[in-house]
Chains A and B, each alone.
Chain A
Amino acid sequence: MLNWLVEPLQHSFMRQALLASILVGLTCSSLGVYVVLRRMAFLGDAIAHTTLPGLVIAYLNRWSLLWGAIISAIVTALGIGWLSRNQRLREDTAIGVVFSGMFALGIVMVSRAQSYRDFSHMLFGNVLGVTQSDLIGIGIVSVVVIGTLFAVNKEMALTTVDPHHAQTIGLSAQRMRYLLLVILALAVVAGIQSVGVVMTTALMVTPAAAASLITRRLHGMFIWSGILSVLSNCVGLYASFYLSISSGGAIVLACTILFGAVYVVTRLRWRHGNTRHRETCIAGSRRN
């Protein structure tokens, strides 16, 4: 068993991939808590897809892909926030417009580049191909995202649970939303290295959704989301190595299987708890 775990790590690309997976897992899962609690899964998906034009422009000009994606994602996030700022246009409508437009732009640019193969790792991820400089970029993004969340967690929580109260004490819910969108864009970019544009949302939503089934405490959600995410990233990576399957697909599938397992276990516990509660009530009424 130990050999089975250690053997892949003898390859430097696997060590880098594992480190990248853990960093991406922690980053996306911690932000995912707010994505789930604020019901922003669609927005996360949209931002992931809209990084495509930025990635293509950066690739064609031999710039850093990471920065191309970051700028594209931030422009999208702020654009959606601006379009839906005064509720004349609903946020999901604004997302639909910007998301499809930007993704279409990316597809057109890819077709102009006349090489779909070069962009396949952007669409579906390739954590096994992470380079040293990618790893540094992911590390910086992770520190920024997790550090920001840690620093403003009480404000983020308040603007989520009661934006009106936040507003009355001078804490702008709108500005907190923009901040969340910007760090969401950063986390998405980190996720793209691992599982690609198409599946990044899964890294944010699935572990946090599973965590929400396990606990009803915010801190507990952060912890469980992180554990489940790192676990599924590692399982997916090893599965990819031993079964020679797509790393991005394997990681997301591992996330989904873990979510399924958590769902079944929590349902069974809930049903068992309800039965015991019913029996206690019946026993109590008989005694009386």
Chain B
Amino acid sequence: MMQKIDASVLCREGEHSHVEPRWPYGGRVHRDPLSGSPAVQTAGLQVCYPGAADPAIKNASLEVSCGCRAALVGHNGAGKSTLLKAMAGLLKPEAGTIRLFGNPVGACHHRTAYLPQRSDLDWQFPVSVRQLVLTGRYVHLGWFQQPRKKDEQLVSRAIRRLGIEQLAQKPIGDLSGGQQQRVLLARALVQESSLFLLDEPLNALDEATRDTVDEVLREHTQRGGTVLVATHDLGRLSESFDRVIYLCEGRVEQIENLTSGHLTAPQQSASTSRDGT
């Protein structure tokens, strides 16, 4: 059994580098994680797209504890992306609650990094790879503040870590699908967030790049971060994740603890702590 890690320590991962901007976006102020709270907690969550008759997420209750690498698995339309979008604050729940580190969504923006699907970006926009990665620092800058030397250094480090140095000055429109994924992951890294919400980050990646991504996510959780990944890649579940959350037609079907092989029904407390408790 893995050593139990203190959740309050884990939740503070990455925060030492955050200095509240003078004019933060959304006028939010820094809010500390509630002690002992899981990284993600939803209760009776129901999410509906504007204009849609049926909710895309129905009565979803789950927890992902700090330091956990969890996968969201399900067929197309199961609600994986919708669930991540709701957690990232892109969709408002019709019913139920979402808590990130014990706080409501959006209470502390720098603590959550969301990696969207590639199709959500305008890849023809005339910026370089380096400039796109730098946008990950904007949450620490706020209005009117230009990137500083430290931000540039963090960008260089993330670009090196993902092995995309040779692409740094290229326009983002020249990238292949796999390169785009690596660039988005580099941006998530420079955000220095505790929680990564990643929507299909393994799509269009070759084996070598998947290994790199696995390694980066493992390092993040080893430093105390938490990762929640929507994925179709069932082949790597056992080696890449601690927990698997199965979704079907907007409902949480079951939660599998891969470290203990234990299955949990969603209506029983679906806790996914790293030590299997």
**B126 and A164 within 8 A (CB):** no
**A164 and B173 within 8 A (CB):** no
* Segment with Cβ contacts to A, from B57-65, B116-124, B260-268: B116-124
Smallest distance from the beta carbon of B188 to chain A beta carbons, Å? Answer: 9
A167 within 8 A of B: yes
> How many B residues face the partner with a CB closer than 8 A?
38
Q: State whether A168 and B25 are in contact (beta carbons under 8 Å apart), knowing that A212-B126, A216-B173 are contacts in the complex.
A: no
- Which of A87, A151, A157 interacts with B51 by CB under 8 Å? A87
> How many A residues face the partner with a CB closer than 8 A?
28
Chain B residues near A157 (CB, 8 Å)? 125, 127
B178 within 8 A of A: no
B198 within 8 A of A: no
Looking at chain B's contact residues, the main secondary structure is mixed
Smallest distance from the beta carbon of A135 to chain B beta carbons, Å? Answer: 30
CB-nearest residue of chain A to B141: A154
Considering residues A172, A218, A220, which has the most beta carbons from chain B within 10 angstroms of its beta carbon? A218
Q: How far is B90's CA from A254's CA once the two chains are assembled, in angstroms?
A: 44
Q: Mark B173-215, 1 if CB is under 8 A from A, else 0.
A: 1000000000000010000000000000000000000000000
**B126 and A162 within 8 A (CB):** no
Smallest distance from the beta carbon of A245 to chain B beta carbons, Å? Answer: 35
Q: How far is B173's CA from A215's CA once the two chains are assembled, in angstroms?
A: 13
Q: Mark B10-51, 1 if CB is under 8 A from A, else 0.
A: 000000000000001111100000000000000000000011
Q: How far is B90's CA from A151's CA once the two chains are assembled, in angstroms?
A: 26
CB-nearest residue of chain A to B125: A161
New A-B contacts (15) at CB < 8 Å, excluding given A165-B114, A217-B171: A86-B51, A152-B143, A154-B135, A154-B146, A155-B138, A155-B143, A158-B138, A164-B85, A164-B114, A165-B135, A168-B89, A169-B110, A169-B138, A217-B128, A220-B126
Q: List 6 A-B contacts (CB under 8 A).
A: A151-B144, A158-B135, A161-B135, A162-B116, A215-B126, A216-B173
**Could you tell me which B residues sit within 8 Å of A by CB distance?**
24-28, 50-51, 85, 88-90, 106, 109-110, 112-114, 116, 120-122, 125-128, 131-132, 135, 138-139, 141, 143-144, 146, 171-173, 187
